[in-house]
A and B are shown apart, each in its own frame.
Chain A
């Protein structure tokens, strides 16, 4: 089938970006979105042009590398699917697809469709873990964890850190990402002791980065490839509110946000 790809091209952060249209005559409906870009890039290279930079790695929808906005929707029209698993059969012959990078101040552009998502690592770094060192762990079955709790934790832990939630949020908020980690660890008995401190420090880091606020609008969960539920944000807020009303000596210190590094 024939398609036109209208792709955002930008050499780097400091240069101006533009949309460039690339007509494609021979798109197989069985291809994935990224394979379609591969084919385009092969032809660009042979024409002596610079190929489109886009991030990708596992192409199985789990590493979280890939992702861009396709026709106004992060990861494209298919729910619960990353760009790498989006099949071209969802488009019609003659369609024009607009591909844009995640757009958020906290995700500075690197090139074309590639952005820098280190801000998400910073949020984890601030407290997205259980502070347990290697070697001292008790026997695995010492603390029973009910199946419902384990499932709830797993639902949140499924986050792949792709950043689509930020991209889709009209406020460019990272609440779903942060809430997912706070929920994953917070509901488990292993994560309970640090629960409030974790919420304080992760929220502090989230606010130190240039993300917007959550308006409970729900676009994030709509585009999330793992369909992480909106409740995780409420869980984050609850832990944060509870933690904020207690006196504590050990207030978190956020690390310098991404924008200060670049």
Chain B
């Protein structure tokens, strides 16, 4: 039988990356990194429920990290880039794997979240770009004013614009959806499964995702309801 040659080990990392399984591992690992940021960012944001000085000081602290901040940003950017590149490559491969589609399809076992990963991901990405332009760079400020350094005031005035809040809440819900499948899927991708543990894993992932969503959207909701002024 004819065989296709594979060059031995010098190319091992390349082979790993080229395999669909390898790319999924990369997606899982980069996913964990981004998840770490999501958790940290949420914890930071929740300081909105304390006095304005707290979060302003926190913002100040972050800005003064200097190189560390840029390293963190670099790592995150790399993670995002790898996550996206792997996704695109795998999506193209999947598309090619079924050149003729079904006339009729019915999902019987998959969650809505898992089927919409290709949508929830890019929309969340688009939101992040908007979000950075609004709160980090201050390029877009639908609110009346943007004061560099006054995080508290910027958030409050930002979220008082109704559609900013709605867009934020919508994006966070999508993030939650993305995480509810992604957090579980990454265990599958790296092969951490146990017959007794796995059934709980999916529920645990959903619970964590829910906590994240609630944590984030509590802020615009509180602003809109006037709890935070």
Q: Point out residues on A near B: beta carbons under 8 Å.
A: 17, 19, 69, 71-73, 79, 98, 100, 103-106, 152, 170-173, 203-204, 206-208, 210-219, 221-223, 229-231, 233-242, 244, 247-249, 251-256, 260
Contacts and interface: CB of A to CB of B under 8 A. Distances in A.
A216 to B, nearest CB: 4
Interface of B: 1-6, 8-9, 12, 15-16, 18-25, 90, 93-94, 96-111, 114-115, 117, 181, 184-185, 187-195, 198
8 smallest A-B Cβ distances: which pairs? A238-B191, A222-B109, A234-B193, A213-B20, A72-B106, A171-B94, A212-B94, A212-B97
A215 B185 contact: yes
A214 B102 contact: no
B106 A73 contact: yes
Contacts of A214: 20-21, 24, 188-189
Given A212-B20, A237-B24, A238-B191, A217 B98 contact: no
Contacts of A254: 3-4, 6
Contact of A256 (B2, B94, B195): B2
A207 B188 contact: no
A251 B4 CA distance: 12
A106 B19 contact: no
A98 B195 CA distance: 36
30 contacts: A19-B103, A69-B102, A72-B106, A100-B104, A103-B102, A171-B93, A171-B94, A171-B98, A173-B94, A204-B19, A210-B96, A211-B20, A214-B24, A214-B189, A215-B90, A217-B111, A219-B108, A221-B109, A222-B108, A222-B109, A222-B110, A229-B198, A230-B198, A231-B198, A239-B191, A241-B25, A253-B3, A253-B4, A256-B2, A256-B4
Contacts of B189: 214, 216, 237
